[in-house]
Each structure stands twice: as C-alpha cells, then as structure tokens.
Chain A
Amino acid sequence: MFATKRLSKELLKMKDHVPPGIEIVKSDNLEEWQMDIKVLDENPLYQNQTYRLKFMFSSKYPIEPPEVQFITCDASTGHPRTIPMHPHIYSNGIICLDLLGSAGWSPVQTVESVCMSLQSMLTANNRDERPPGDQEFITHNRRRIRDINFVYEDDNV
C-alpha cells in the first residue's frame, strides 16, 4: 500500500516532468520499472549512448532501497542497449554504489534522484575498465542484488 501509493505519486510527477537525459520506458506495474538514461556532457566514454536501467521495488519501498541494475537489449527491439563501461559497474549490469545499498539508502531518494546519481556517476568517470574480479563475480554470483555486501572503498569516482 505504502509503496504503491508512493510510486504512483512519483510516476505522476515524472510524467509531468522528467530531468533531461532521463526517460521512462516501462512503468506499467508498480513492481518493476525500466528507465533510459543518457550522459549529457562530452565524456567520450559515453557519448551518444543510451543505457537502460531496471528498478525492482519491494513492498517496503521507499524504506527499503529498490534493486537497480543496468540491462542489455537486443538490436532486434530497435533500441540496442549495452552495459556502460565503469570501474563500479560489473559486466552483468550490477552496480556497486553505496546509495543503492541498505546502508547508504535514504527513503528521501526517488527513482528520479537515483537516475540522476547514476548519470553523474558515469559523467565523472574517465576509466574505461570493469571492476577488479569482474569475470569471477559474474560467473559465481547467484545472490540477489539486495543480498550482495559490497565494500565501498573507492571514493574517486
């Protein structure tokens, strides 16, 4: 009840106005949304690219953080989407960002604010690399996003 009410209010507001570079792709149910984000400045790593984000909301949202990850789309859908290159984004789309973990999350955050945080996280990056241990992580991780305990040690990006 709490989550659906809050999400429908967020949706109403975003349908009215979304910040530049953010677009709602799918919001037909109040459990999973998909958003497209773009990096707007001249960062050569992400120029002219659009990335797709998947939000999964639990019934305790916004007290609990949503599960957010980048997803890929085939070119056959007309909107090919890839996973952005970033030292904190694994190649399966899982994002290591403190404000998406239960410790860094705040109920004041919204879908819009999360999208904007991710935009700025991409903008500020200039390293064309994956996190250390990426291959091992994506082959062995079977946990859900909310159950992964990341250590947020890198404050540079």
Chain B
Amino acid sequence: MNLQEFLAMEDNFDRDELIDLRGLDFVSDYDSHLMCPICHCPFVDPVRLQCDHVFCQSCLSSAINTFRSADSDEFPCPSCRTPTREVSTSVPRLLINMCDEIRDIGLDGKCMHVLRQCPRCEEDVMEQDYEEHDKELCPVLETSCVDCETVVSRKALKEHVEACPEVIVPCAAAKHACPVKVRRADIAMHEQSCPLVTMIPYFEVQNTRLNSLELSMRHLQQRNEIFEDGLANIRSTLVESARIGASAAPSGQSANNGRDQPSTRTETNTDDPTDISSSVFSSNATTYLLSLHESLREEVEQIKHNLTDLDARASMALMNECIRMKEDMAHTNAAVNSVRMQVQWLMNPRLHGTRTGAVRANTGNETPRSPMASSSTAGSSSTTAQPLGPLRPRRPSDSGREGTKL
C-alpha cells in the first residue's frame, strides 16, 4: 500500500489496547535484531519498507508524519534514507514468531493487582498487598497484648485493651487533680481509699454552680455596658442643648453656663432674687433645655421643609420659562430660515443674470414672481426653465435646490 493508505490505516487503528507492549519489562534479553530501531523495543505490529527495513507500525507512522515533505508521496527510510513510496504489512513469519516468543516470556510474571483470597480471614487482597496481609495485617492472626502478654487475635485486640487488667489507667478523680495512675486491677482498691474520689459529686455540683455564675456575670456585664452607653448619650445631648441655650440667652444677662440661664429666667419670672435650691433649678433647667432643644429642632425641620418647597417651586418656574423661551427661539429660527430662503431665491436669478444675457432675460421674467410661491409654482418654474436646457445645463442638484427654496 502507499503512504496515504498506510497513514489512514494507522489513524483507524484501534488504540484501546489493554496493555502498551512497549511498557513491558522483558524478563529475558532479546536479540537487537528483533528491536525496532526507532523505539528500541521488540517490534509491535511490524511493517516493512521497500528497502527491507522493518519498523513498528506506530513508530513508522509518526516518523512519516514528521519527515515526509508536505506535498510529495515519498519518504526517506529512517535507516538508509532510501526514498520510499510503499509500505508492506507482510513481514516474514519468522520475525513475528520470534517477537511473540519474547513477549510470552515477558508476560509470564503475575499481575500485581489480581485479587487473592486469604485462606484464614476469607478477605480478598490484592497480590501486591498479600504478603503484608499474610504476615501482619490479617485479622485472624494472633498477637500478644503489650501489657499482659495474653495472646489474642488481632480482631479482638481492641476489646482486650479496653478490659486488660494490666493496662495502666488513671484514677477516676484524675480530673480533680488526683495524680495516681495504676494498673486496672488495682484501680478499684485505690479508688476506695482516694479522698478525691469521694469528693467527686461535690466537685461536680460546685463546677456547675461556677459555670452558671460565670454565665450570669457575663450577662450582667453586657447589660452594664448598654446602660453606660445610654448614659453617655444622655450626657452628650445635655451638653449640646446647654450650649444652644447659652447662645440663645439674651446677652445682657450674665450667663456663663447653661445652668445659670434658666435660673436667671426664673428670677425674672418670680422676681425672687434668692435661689431656693440648686437641685430644683438644675432639674428645671434640664427640662427647659430639653424642651427648647425640641422646639428648635422642630423649627429647623419646618425651615427645611419650606426650603425644599421653595426649591421645587423655583425649579418648576424656571422650567416653564425655559420651555417658553425655547419655543420662541424655534419660532425665530423658523422665521430666519424662511427669510434666508426667500433672499436666496431672490438672489439666484440675479446671480445667473450677471452670467449670460439670455439668462438675464429669463430672470427678468421670473423676478416679479412672489417669493411666497407655493410648491406647485416652484414646479412650474422648473418646467419653464426646461426649454433653457441648452443654454444653462441643469445639474442634478438643481431641482433639489429649488425644492429647498420654499
């Protein structure tokens, strides 16, 4: 077959082989003549060239793909560079047989992933893990407890460690600072005598009490924080309102701080110059300041409202005015445009008239026409201009210009 057919065959070749024969490690040595010179492995699907050189099918096809010049159907043999057109799949039976023989030896080894049943525990184990399983991991294997030297099966070892009398265990009161650690067999004796063990229930009760107390303390701390925040808020508002009150007070009165101001006010109201009690004054002052603050706030609120109202109204009026102005402008624009067109229309014949006498005669006819002529008269004017064709050649834009005149 020729090269094209060969490459097509390679493309169609089923590559889903279970094993890559080149990946095998061969047990026996093989003759270097049975080796593909490209991959240095024993031939896999050997093919032959005209010059009798043999290669693996896939090696040769990748070599052809790389070394064949783009448009020729020739390819130099990798070994001897003989130009080649034909690839033959028939290779001597002897060669194939010898290659197969190597492979037989190579495949003789066992697959390490095959499952094998352990005769003792009846579990399926992979070949590669079997040896370890057989010697160490099989649950039926017997093993000895490190503490009491009793021989148990691996399966039962865990249970045994839970109950082994030789295992060192801590005292039941270890949580409560009993340092004793003894063998499980002796632990009962120790616990009878250990004072800490008898105290265990008491300790437990104390612990729960402590926990609950800690919890409630945390709650209280949180509440305290909230209260403190509130207090700070109140204080800050007070200071603020005091300042406002001070600034609002008449300048003639001697008011150094907010608290003095209402007191002077009470003086003026009651005409009593002596202070009755400072605490009453201070509470009065606070309420007064707060109310003052409130009223001021309301006033500000109202002013703000008025302001937005005014703003809206102003912008509305502005907009109305704008629209009117715009309309006026449009009117003026239109008027200017129509005037311009009329002037143009009037100027046009005059311009042409200066060019040729014949045209001047024509413009003489046209000038008396009213500039307010309708579109139909414009059409007629263009038709009257038609006979003058040979004198004044019409340009394609002429009719368009006449249309825009009106």
Task: List A residues at the B interface (Cβ < 8 Å).
Answer: 1-2, 5-6, 9-10, 62-64, 102, 106-108
Contacts and interface: CB of A to CB of B under 8 A. Distances in A.
Contact of A9 (B41, B59, B66, B78): B41
A154 to B, nearest CB: 20
28 contacts: A1-B23, A2-B22, A2-B39, A5-B22, A5-B39, A5-B40, A6-B38, A6-B39, A6-B40, A9-B40, A9-B41, A10-B40, A63-B38, A63-B62, A63-B66, A64-B66, A102-B66, A106-B67, A106-B76, A106-B78, A106-B79, A106-B81, A107-B37, A107-B38, A107-B59, A107-B63, A108-B37, A108-B79
Contacts, number: 35
A111 B79 CA distance: 15
Please tell me the size bucket of the interface on B: 10 to 19
Given A2-B39, A107-B59, A107-B78, 6 more contacts: A1-B23, A5-B23, A9-B40, A63-B63, A102-B66, A106-B78
A108 B38 contact: yes
A6 to B, nearest CB: 5
A9 B81 CA distance: 24
A1 B20 CA distance: 11
A79 B381 CA distance: 109
B7 to A, nearest CB: 15
Interface of B: 22-23, 37-41, 59, 62-63, 66-67, 76, 78-79, 81
A58 B171 CA distance: 69
Contacts of B62: 63
Closest 9 A/B residue pairs (Cβ): A9-B40, A108-B37, A107-B38, A108-B78, A106-B78, A108-B79, A107-B78, A107-B63, A63-B66
Nearest to B32: A13
Contacts of A108: 37-38, 78-79
